[in-house]
Amino acid sequence: MPEGLSPLEANKELQHHQKHAEAPEGRGGRWLQISEAVVLALVTLTAAWSGFAAAKWGTQSRLELAAASSARTQANRADYTALSLRNFDAATFNAWFLAYTLDKREKMAVAERRFRPELKVAFDAWMATRPDTNPDAPQGPTYMPEYRLAAAAQATALDAAADRHTELGTHAGVVGDNYVRITVVLAGVLFLIGIGSTFALPGVRYGLLAVGIVLLVSAIILIAMQPPPPA
């Protein structure tokens, strides 16, 4: 994507103006020509800074959005792992519960040995609630607050990181677009000064120069309002 006015284009316009401008005779004409050259020089420097900032912010936006995509992919993987572990824990608990309903103590012990450590902690806490006699007991170990899946926590953290990267990437893209718009304003200054050099009437050239100065000052103010380029 083009970043707007390039320093090379601004420098060519400055050289063209210095070569072909025909200022009115006298001290006023010389001051007019000098003023136009100074404005063009300032436009060159400002355009260089604006183009550099636009490129840096554009790169930053792409990096942040790429990081967001990577974090989202990792979050999906972690969420799938958590779902698989939860299903495994549910299956092993169902095996224990079936043995419990059949009063098969040996099979209950076998099922308990298959419990993962996270499920065993939640199972012991669930048994402490006396679910066989307590109607208010949770439906199973996986409903206990002690039941924690590291993969689920990781998925949540990665989703939050992806949201942050997306927000930063969107912001960087907006700032980069603002710098590109500023270079469009600077291109307008070059056009005004360049076309002004084709007029022999001092009044016309002074008018175009004044408008160019206003646009240049506006561009500088807009740059000051933007965050500086990222390191």
Q: Kindly state whether residue 21 falls inside one of the protein's structural domains.
A: yes
Q: Kindly state whether residue 1 falls inside one of the protein's structural domains.
A: no
Q: Kindly state whether residue 155 falls inside one of the protein's structural domains.
A: yes
Residue 187's closest CA among 36, 40, 15, 79?
A: 40
* pLDDT above 50: residue 1: no
- pLDDT for 8 equals 54
- For residues 90-106, one letter each, b for 16 or more C-beta atoms within 10 angstroms of the residue's C-beta and e for the rest, the string is eebbebbeebeeeeeee
pTM listed for this prediction? 0.72
Of 153 and 22, more confident: 153
What is the Cα–Cα distance from 231 to 154, expressed in whole angstroms?
30
Residue 141's closest CA among 152, 162, 127?
A: 127
- pLDDT for 21 equals 46
Give the type of residue at 219.
Answer: A
Q: Kindly state whether residue 99 falls inside one of the protein's structural domains.
A: yes
| Residue that the structure tokens 């006298």 belong to | 26
Query: Model confidence over 46-94: pLDDT tens digits?
Result: 999 999 999 999 999 999 999 999 999 999 999 999 999 999 999 999 9
Q: Kindly state whether residue 231 falls inside one of the protein's structural domains.
A: no
Q: Kindly state whether residue 80 falls inside one of the protein's structural domains.
A: yes
Most confident of the ranges 8-17, 82-91, 203-212: 82-91
* pLDDT above 60: residue 190: yes
Q: Which two tokens stand for residue 206?
A: 């002074």
What is the Cα–Cα distance from 52 to 61, expressed in whole angstroms?
14
What is the Cα–Cα distance from 136 to 133, expressed in whole angstroms?
9
Q: Kindly state whether residue 230 falls inside one of the protein's structural domains.
A: no
Contact assessment for residue 44 and residue 124, using Cβ atoms and an 8 Å cutoff = no
Beta strands per DSSP E along 80-216: none
Contact assessment for residue 222 and residue 45, using Cβ atoms and an 8 Å cutoff = no
Q: Kindly state whether residue 26 falls inside one of the protein's structural domains.
A: yes
Q: Which domain holds residue 94?
A: 7-225
- Count of structural domains, the chain: 1
Give the type of residue at 163.
Answer: D
